Amino acid sequence: MWLAESRLDVSAQVNLDRMSRSEDVHHIAVMPDVHLGHSVNNGTVIATEHLIYPQAVGGDIGCGIAAIRFAAARLFDSDQQGHWIIRELYRRVPALKQRETRNLPERLNQLQLSNESLIKKGQREGAYQLGTLGCGNHFVEFQEDETGCAWFMIHTGSRAMGQIITEYHLACAATSTTGLKYLDCQSPQGQAYLQDMEWAKQYATLNRLAIIAEVAEIMENHFNIKVDEDSYLDCTHNFVRRENHFGREWWVHRKSAISAQPEELGIVAGSMGTPSFIVRGMGLAEALCSSSHGAGRVLSRTEARKTISQKSMEQQLGTVRYDENHLRNLRDEAPGAYRDIHKVMRTQRELTRQVTRLTPKLNFKYPDRKKTNLIP
């Protein structure tokens, strides 16, 4: 375990103990951003020989972060420009679904889902949600690196399709002695899950690319600022794949954790008011060549709404631009609801090394689903 605090939260420890007792779980690595998750903690990496645990991947299969640099030193000369961009983001990047269905990219059609009902849902929900952000901790952010260059970052995943795929396969899964669900990788059901997970991973990447395309068009058409396509980086943090560790082959599950193979580039996100980092992996075997994906929550959403005032959140955000009209409904995403990202980065010095520090300049996100009717 690489913990930023002296010990795990009691509920998170219960989850971890259950995972460690589950069949075929041979190795667990706990990241510095670990926090309580449904069934399996976020910030957890597990290795199995032949069993696949969908709950150790999570419902938002393929969720991740993408970043790209702009060919410009500065983006915002005034608050007016920042407010205009936020209005454009509301118009061009919906929270939950597009106004009209979109054609799914050919790459997804080539992969194909394993079941006719999933195919139909992909053609319906998947087509309506491609290019949508989602709510909660998913964000669009404009940033600046140490040299003054401007960047754009997006955090989102496979939207409803990841949940649909996960629920479909959990219904077919066996139940372990600890209550967690699993599929044998060699069974038809296990092979079908792996096939559908790859589809969802690709969907999530294409979803991020669709949003990047919208933002790139906004910036080029209205500010004559282009993106540097060579700088594009996409980093997934909810997936399972076959990897070699300790001289053996394993199924490595990462839930809210990134791969950190030697020299591999990755992204570790801060909070709304704190820096994010592009990193290189150190390839530490004991950590299953992994690292944290972000800061990690220290307050639940309910606790954050109860304890963090709007004024306090304004102070925490400092000079970062945001939509003031909906700040009250985003208090559960306040920087104070998350760990100190600098402490997280110090804790995982043997897991990754920092390459680029990205300081937030404008953050855009939607509140939870119950409050999306408040958004224009």
In a domain, 234, yes or no: yes
Give the range of the structural domain holding residue 67, as residue numbers without chain letter: 10-374
The gap between the terminal CA atoms of the chain, to the nearest Å, is 43
Question: Using CA atoms, how far apart are residues 348 and 9, in angstroms rounded to an integer?
Answer: 19
What is the number of structural domains in the chain?
A: 1
**Residue 58 is part of a domain; what is its CATH number?**
3.90.1860.10
Asked if 162 and 200 touch (Cβ cutoff 8 Å), the reply is yes
In a domain, 2, yes or no: no
* E-assigned strand segments in the chain: 25-35, 42-48, 51-52, 64-70, 139-144, 150-156, 174-175, 181-184, 227-236, 238-245, 248-255, 257-259, 265-268, 276-281, 290-292, 352-364
In a domain, 3, yes or no: no
- Taking alpha carbons only, the member of 350, 308, 371, 364 closest to residue 156 is 364
pLDDT given for residue 72 in this prediction: 75
In a domain, 182, yes or no: yes
CB atoms within 10 A of CB 17: 12
- Taking alpha carbons only, the member of 354, 327, 323 closest to residue 341 is 354
In a domain, 5, yes or no: no
pLDDT average per 10 residues of sequence, the chain (376 residues)? 93 96 98 96 98 98 98 74 92 92 87 94 94 95 94 97 98 97 98 98 98 95 92 98 97 98 98 96 98 96 94 94 91 96 97 97 85 48
Q: What is the DSSP letter of 269?
A: B
pLDDT given for residue 109 in this prediction: 84
CB atoms within 10 A of CB 204: 26
pLDDT given for residue 285 in this prediction: 96
pLDDT given for residue 376 in this prediction: 45
> What is the three-state SS of 287-343?
HCCEEECECCECCCHHHHHHHCCHHHHHHHHCCCECCHHHCHHHHHHCHHHECCHHH
188-223 and 79-92 helices, crossing angle to 10°: 140
In a domain, 1, yes or no: no
pLDDT given for residue 76 in this prediction: 67
pLDDT given for residue 233 in this prediction: 98
Residue with the two structure tokens 């790859």: 198
Give the three-state DSSP class for 100. coil
Compute CA 91 distance to the chain's CA centroid, rounded to the nearest angstrom: 23
pLDDT given for residue 326 in this prediction: 86
In a domain, 288, yes or no: yes
pLDDT given for residue 371 in this prediction: 52
In a domain, 100, yes or no: yes
Which pTM value belongs to this model?
A: 0.95
